[in-house]
């Protein structure tokens, strides 16, 4: 099962995960990070600003989870722009080493395979940061996604389009299609770190961690991973049946183990 760490707030989660990432980069200068968009991972990127300051990050590589199809990469809400703004620029990463799936309509037929190849050539993702949608999606793997899926085009649910409308002028501007790493792609990363904050994510977290393995609960795919860490605040943990056990386990965790 995933290791669940219940922290006081999002800032504490950011520090915990950032510390793990810094340790990884210290071990391996060309570490491959799996980058997520959305508001959830922002405290991690924020904490990394301070923790990575003065360190050489020129070799660090990264792969984003997903991208909208048909949205100009220069659009402020394309995930290429978001990753550049939230991660590449503030952390001083080399933009040539940071990949985002190509959502251009003209090349979309082979964009998924191209992305899979690029991840493979890089030797796979060392640590994959994940958020979770209110409908349980990870990346943009909407309910029904195969656990074996690879990077491909998906149709966004209306719920996801409504959730993401806040980033656009109107819901009509939210694309209907995306290209996303598959659940099978995500499961090949060596360490998964899923973060979630707030009551609105409590059910999705409970389904992912304790729910049955089911394609209708895409987050439940993390139960198949040998090293998955779920970092949540009290509100997001509020529907976990085994919350007390997770608290006890973390409090008694050997110091050498990390997350």
Residues between 34 and 73 that touch ligand GLP (CB under 6 A): 36-40, 65-66
| Given the residues 15, 66, 86, 233, the one annotated as active site | 66
> Considering only residues 139, 175, 184, 218, which one is a binding residue for ligand GLP as defined by CB under 6 A?
139
**Considering beta carbons, is residue 51 or 137 the nearer one to ligand GLP?**
137
Clarify whether 177 is annotated catalytic.
no
**Considering beta carbons, is residue 86 or 256 the nearer one to ligand GLP?**
86
User: How open is the CA angle 150-64-68, to the nearest 5 degrees?
Assistant: 80
> Between 145 and 164, how does the x/- string for binding to ligand GLP read (CB under 6 A)?
---------------x---x
**Nearest distance from residue 160's CB to ligand GLP, in Å?**
6
Cβ–Cβ under 8 Å, residues 194 and 231: yes
Clarify whether 163 is annotated catalytic.
no
For residues 114 and 108, give the distance between their C-alpha atoms in angstroms, rounded to a whole number.
Answer: 10
192 contacts ligand GLP (rule: CB under 6 A)? no
Query: In a 3-state reduction of DSSP, which class is residue 82?
Result: helix
For residues 116 and 122, give the distance between their C-alpha atoms in angstroms, rounded to a whole number.
Answer: 10
131 contacts ligand GLP (rule: CB under 6 A)? yes
Clarify whether 135 is annotated catalytic.
yes
**Nearest distance from residue 134's CB to ligand GLP, in Å?**
7
Q: Which two tokens stand for residue 96?
A: 């040539």
For residues 185 and 175, give the distance between their C-alpha atoms in angstroms, rounded to a whole number.
Answer: 23
Q: Where are the beta strands (DSSP E) in the chain?
A: 3-7, 32-35, 61-64, 66-68, 98-99, 127-130, 152-155, 177-180, 191-196, 228-233
Number of residues that bind ligand GLP (CB under 6 A): 14
| Given the residues 135, 163, 207, 233, the one annotated as active site | 135
Cβ–Cβ under 8 Å, residues 180 and 149: no
Clarify whether 66 is annotated catalytic.
yes
221 contacts ligand GLP (rule: CB under 6 A)? no
Active-site residue numbers? Answer: 66, 135, 137, 142
């Amino acid at each position: 099962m995933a290791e669940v760490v219940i922290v006081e707030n999002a800032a504490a989660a950011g520090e915990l995960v950032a510390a793990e990432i810094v340790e990884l980069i210290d071990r391996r200068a060309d570490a491959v990070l799996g980058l997520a968009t959305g508001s959830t991972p922002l405290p991690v990127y924020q904490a990394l600003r301070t923790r990575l300051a003065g360190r050489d990050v020129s070799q660090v590589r990264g792969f984003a989870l997903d991208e909208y199809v048909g949205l100009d990469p220069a659009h402020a809400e394309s995930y290429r722009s978001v990753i550049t703004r939230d991660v590449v620029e503030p952390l001083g990463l080399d933009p040539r080493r940071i990949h985002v799936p190509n959502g251009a309509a003209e090349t979309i037929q082979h964009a998924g395979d191209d992305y899979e190849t690029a991840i493979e050539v890089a030797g796979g993702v060392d640590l994959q940061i994940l958020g979770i949608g209110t409908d349980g999606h990870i990346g943009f793997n909407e309910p029904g996604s195969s656990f074996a899926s690879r990077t491909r085009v998906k149709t966004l649910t209306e719920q996801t389009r409504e959730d993401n409308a806040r980033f656009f002028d109107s819901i009509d501007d939210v694309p209907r299609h995306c290209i996303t790493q598959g659940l099978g792609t995500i499961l090949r990363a060596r360490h998964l770190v899923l973060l979630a904050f707030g009551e609105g994510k409590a059910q999705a977290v409970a389904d992912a961690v304790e729910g049955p393995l089911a394609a209708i609960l895409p987050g439940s795919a993390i139960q198949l991973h040998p090293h998955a860490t779920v970092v949540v605040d009290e509100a997001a943990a509020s529907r976990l049946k085994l919350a007390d056990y997770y608290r006890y386990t973390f409090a008694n965790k050997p110091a050498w183990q990390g997350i």
